[in-house]
Amino acid sequence: MVMLQEENEPRSNEPQGEGAGPMPPVADPNPGGSPGRGIGSRKEQFLIAATHIQGIQPLSVNVIERALRDLPDVEVVDTLYPPGLVGALSSLVGGFAEGMPGAQPVIVARMTEEKAETLRQSIGPRLIMEPDRPLFFSMPEFPPPGLRMESPGMVGSHGTGFTVNITVMGDGAPLEGAEVYLYGSLWPAQGRTNANGQVTLTLFGESLTSLRGLYVRPKADYWDSWVPNPAIDPNQDNVVFLTPLNRTFPNFPNEERFGWGQKAMRLDQLPETYRGQGVKIAIVDSGAATIHQDLQQVKKGFDVVEKNDQTWSQDMIAHGSHCLGVIAGLKNGRGIRGFAPDAEVLVIKIFPGGMFSHLIRALDYCMEQPVDLINLSLGSDQRSQILEQRIQRAKQLGIACIVAAGNSGGPVQYPASSAHVLAVAALGKKGEYPPESHHSTTESSFSNGEGYFSPNFSCFGPEIGVCAPGIAILSTVPPDNYAVWDGTSMAAPHVTGLAALILAHHRDFQGPYKARNAQRVERLFQIIKQSSRPLNLGDPHRTGAGLPDVLKALEISPVAFPTIPTDLLQRLLEVLRSGLPPEVGVAAGTGADLQQLRTAMQEAGLLPAPGIGLSGRTSPTAGPAPVGPLLSPWIPGTQGNGGIARGVNMQQLKAAMQEAGLL
């Protein structure tokens, strides 16, 4: 029986009791015959907090912590104090500020499951005790849906196997660090390529005819590859050739571009002055590589796991950097541009190793700042009452949490399933990735005539608020590279970026909803949903209100641009494809046509007036012109850099066309 008695002794920060230290190693059943320490089950972590019961004073955190420290086999790991409730208030009254949920301290304790069950039976209704569960990124799992794996138990210890050698090649050179997965009917074999682009994989209990798929995922700068039913030869080297991103995106990353998802939400048509100024965004993730040229504006962060303000800028996983690029990538003339490049960003690192307790501490940090928005591209298949109270408290303080729905292909995961957040499902569009890439395996029957589809991995349910692009999303990865990823992890940042623009530039948040409270958050979510376009993919629980629209959310009318004749665009593209210098184009009779096109583009705001550089344009960027199917995102780049009439060179014109969505 756990005895909880109020007392006036000061709280001790030192571990007490026999169980306060680490779990002792399992005894060696054969002393002297073992080369090392035996492996046993580790202790689990639990979250413990006082319950707020009407008319009953909550237990003080000192009382709870002292009782736990006095128990054998229990280690108090940490105590999480909400902002503004450190010290006497928390210790004496349990930390409840006027009954506000989520304002109580939380104790993190480590113990065996048996000890935890004993405590649950004895603590009564005055305490909440629940497992401190791990969090996961909201990225698709492998193998792809539909690739059935048999139970590995059918293979005995003497199962036969074979070894294969695979070489991954990039643009004429071997690729180091590519992840290679070879799927049979049982467990996959996996490895990472060496400096020569080579990896050796061994599969047991398989044959050449039982191989189901070969997946190659590069570190950066290339499309991935998915080969179903691969024809593997174990007697020679098997080579996989990957396609560089700049073959799809001409002159990338030397020329800045919007992603297809940003264009789908019409960010590319937003006036240049809308950049999210004055809004503070927190990205709770794996850190951020601030050495990246598109992320150098980020100056502040905190590593919750290591409890320091130095290591947050080290992103070994790259997940946080990818999310950050979509939200706030700099507008610097290269790479990608985020939704809100002028917003202030705080990076809160909780991966690797993120648990519910780390997310609670991250939310506390956000409330201390305070931030306006929190991007959570993470989740769990279990709920938490204690974490839910912290999320509710953040909302009451005017902080909006935008959360990835999850990638299990089932019910919406937590905390996206919370009633106090905006859950974001993923959306894909056919034609935005090479057909031989792994992105094509995410397509589902939930689609429409425009090519939009709900990915087969995206979680769904009535909790979904909106959907956003989450397939083949181009963004930043360490150290100064780019990668194309899938997941609701990629969808949520699109909505977080839009939310930053709304808070910064929508009139409601300069007036009636300026005060930081729950009503502010609700109004923000309402605007995002009301701006959304229903996609009619066959199940509204997969898309919520639909795909948000930047211009509609900000109450901006699109600018009407004059139509550029299709035949002129066709002639221009022929010149761009050929890479011919302008004098050749003029000699061929295209010079006058190009001059006419140039004039039309100036009228449309796609090129500056004579004497004004590209950087001096003030007109909003236009969206794709209605020119029919002749324009393709797969048009190769051109090497031509000669001038086209009046000093506007081909490179500038091509860049303007790309920015306008015409190339």
What positions carry a catalytic annotation?
285, 319, 489
Q: What are phi and psi of 189, to 5 degrees?
A: -100, 140
What residues does 380 pair with on adjacent strands?
A: 414
Instruction: Report how far Cα 89 is from the mean position of its chain's Cα atoms.
Output: 37
Strands 161-169 and 237-241: parallel
Tokens of 658: 């790309």
Q: Contact at 8 Å (CB) between 226 and 220?
A: no
HSE, side-chain direction, 13 A CA sphere, residue 315: 30
Which helix (H) or strand (E) covers residue 366, if one does? helix 356-368
d(CA 636, CA 613): 26
Cβ-Cβ contacts under 8 Å for 307 (sequence gap 6 or more)? none
Neighbours of 171 (CB within 10 A): 13
Encoded tokens for 75: 């280690």
Cα Dmax for the chain: 95
Contacts of 376 (CB under 8 A, 6+ apart): 284, 359, 401, 402, 403, 404, 415, 416, 421, 492
CA–CA dist 196, 198 (Å, integer): 5
Packing angle, helices 566-578 and 650-659, rounded to 10: 120
Q: What is the DSSP string of 496-525?
A: HHHHHHHHHH-GGGGTTT-S-SHHHHHHHH
